[in-house]
Amino acid sequence: MKKHFLALHDFSKAELDAMFALTAELKQKQKNGVEHHLLKGKALAMIFEKSSTRTRISFEVGMFQLGGHPLFISNRDSQMGRGEPIKDTARVMARYCDGVMIRTFGQEIVEEFAQYSDVPVINGLTDLFHPCQIMADLFTVIEHKGGYQGLKYAWIGDGNNMANTWIEAAAIFGFDLTLACPEGYDPDAKVLEWARANGTSRIEVVRDPKVAAAGADVLNTDVWASMGQEQEQKTREKAFAGYQLDQQLLNLANPDAVVLHCLPAHRGEEISDEVIEGPNSVVWDEAENRLHIQKAIMATLMK
């Protein structure tokens, strides 16, 4: 069975570094107008149980640029959305396509799908992990900082799938990470336990965002209420008061710190308009790099 991309811990540091190298190569080729049809004649099924802007466009355009064919499948367009067992859908799709990308709710869904799929399965997002986004984030850091090591990373906000994946990244790549989360909104305890058992980096969860931001080289945040949590919006706004990544917080970081946000951004909530539009923001490079990193992931798995 081919290797799947369900979480960062599925791969070694060396394998992920090789994906970064391929990303740089493919990005340069695209910028220079050089054809790179590494997946010519191949098809990628893209299953969206959660809607998206960046995930759909970046995978669809990326597969096209690699010479392959993307197939968009919403919950309304598949029998899986009508209750067909995941394992049945997985086995059938593997007969038609050369790879599958899934953006869904439970991590167990992509894991079961991968268990029964004979073609590579890519996690486009689950409630537990968002590995493609963190790879894009780290590639953006590499571009702006010359590498990802020796830097201090800060996460401000919800201990969600992004925070969980940053924790995995810290353990795998060996950098220090401080996460500032309100009480009751901590990252997944099992992910933290795994990271501390399998890495040597310092990973701390604190309550004060100023502690996390102080001396940071990379600051990252995300919406306070993720998709599916809209009914908690008002409750979360109260819990996250004081956790906005604003200029006052940014001033505590290193002067040349970079600011990341996976988007969509709720300006005036988790991040201020001043910061996301400011000189430290690399958010638009980060968004673009979803395209390039995912091309490298697809090429690595499906070539």
Active site residues: 103, 130, 133, 222, 262, 290
Check the annotation: does 52 bind a ligand: yes
Please list, residue by residue across 229-256, b when 16 or more beta carbons sit within 10 angstroms of its beta carbon and e when fewer do: eeeeeeebeebbeebbbbeebbebbbee
DSSP, residue by residue, 18-75: HHHHHHHHHHHHHHTT----TTTT-EEEEEESS--SHHHHHHHHHHHHTT-EEEEEEG
Check the annotation: does 262 bind a ligand: yes
Check the annotation: does 132 bind a ligand: yes
Check the annotation: does 161 bind a ligand: yes
Check the annotation: does 56 bind a ligand: no
Check the annotation: does 181 bind a ligand: no
Q: Give dist(CA 245, CA 221) in Å, integer.
A: 7
Q: Give dist(CA 175, CA 164) in Å, integer.
A: 15
Q: Burial of 83 by CB count in 10 Å (0-12 exposed, 13-18 middle, 19+ buried)?
A: exposed
Closest CA to 93 of 82, 106, 102, 103: 102
Q: Give first-to-last CA distance, the chain, whole Å.
A: 14
* DSSP reduced 3-state for 125: strand
65 and 295 in contact (C-beta within 8 Å)?
A: yes
Check the annotation: does 182 bind a ligand: no
Known binding-site residue numbers for L-ornithine = 161, 222, 226-227
Which residues sit in the known binding site? 52-55, 79, 103, 130-133, 161, 222, 226-227, 262-263, 290
Q: Which positions make up the binding site for carbamoyl phosphate? A: 52-55, 79, 103, 130-133, 262-263, 290
